[in-house]
Amino acid sequence: MAHLLRIVMIHGHLDGVVELSVDGHTNICGTNASGKTTLQRLVPVFYGELPNKVVPRTRRKFDAFYLPHRNSYLVYEYRREAGSLCQAVLTRRPEGGVEYRFVAAPYRPEDYLVEGENGIEAREYADWASGLRRSGTGVSAKLSATSEYRAVIQNDFTPTPGMALHGNRKEALKLRQLA
């Protein structure tokens, strides 16, 4: 299974770029309401928990809370079983909800951030993905189903209720290749 190394939130619920290293011992300190629990709730999402289950009922849905802008990113840098560093990237769908992509490279700020009129800004989704492809970095197609994302990140393709690839061998093969 994948080994989570770092969580990076860009232009999300917390301002700017927030990085949390989770490789080894991690200590999160801060004043009340500084975002400690907000970051901790992101760990189960990496392993395939339904995003809306980690947000308290008193708050908005996951995408509106963690990915409030057209250029908000939630980046999980991880090590694959084979040893290579990769990213699982969550973005917000235009109609609401979360999309997942896999990037075959470690996290690099320059892939996501650009110098703009108002200082450092996050790239729009289309610019981000096309920029990675132009540089030769592998980027997967978008996955909209958490069950598909979970199958890839856990490298477990046991059919479960709600899995979108139930009975579709071609889709299952694509996901196995991503894993």
Where in the chain are the domains? 3-178
What's the whole-number mean pLDDT along residues 8-37?
83
What's the whole-number mean pLDDT along residues 41-59?
90
Token pair recorded at residue 18: 């927030």
Percent of the chain exceeding pLDDT 90 equals: 60
Question: Residues, the chain, total?
Answer: 179
Q: What does 93-120 look like in DSSP terms, one character per residue?
A: -TTSSEEEEEESS---HHHHEEEETTEE
Q: Under CATH, what is the fold of the domain 3-178?
A: N-terminal domain of mukB (3.40.1140)
* Minimum mean pLDDT range among 65-69, 97-101, 110-114, 161-165: 161-165
Contact 45, 53 (CB under 8 A): no
Q: Identify the residue with better confidence: 171 or 124.
A: 124
Give the single-character DSSP code of 53: G
How many CB atoms lie under 10 A from the CB of residue 23? 12
Using the predicted structure, report yes or no on whether residue 175 has a pLDDT greater than 70.
yes
State how far Cα 133 lies from the chain centre.
Answer: 18
Mean pLDDT of the chain: 87
**1, 39, 95 from 80: Cα distances, Å:** 7, 22, 31
Q: Identify the residue with better confidence: 163 or 87.
A: 87
Using the predicted structure, report yes or no on whether residue 28 has a pLDDT greater than 60.
yes
Residue with tokens 């199958």: 151
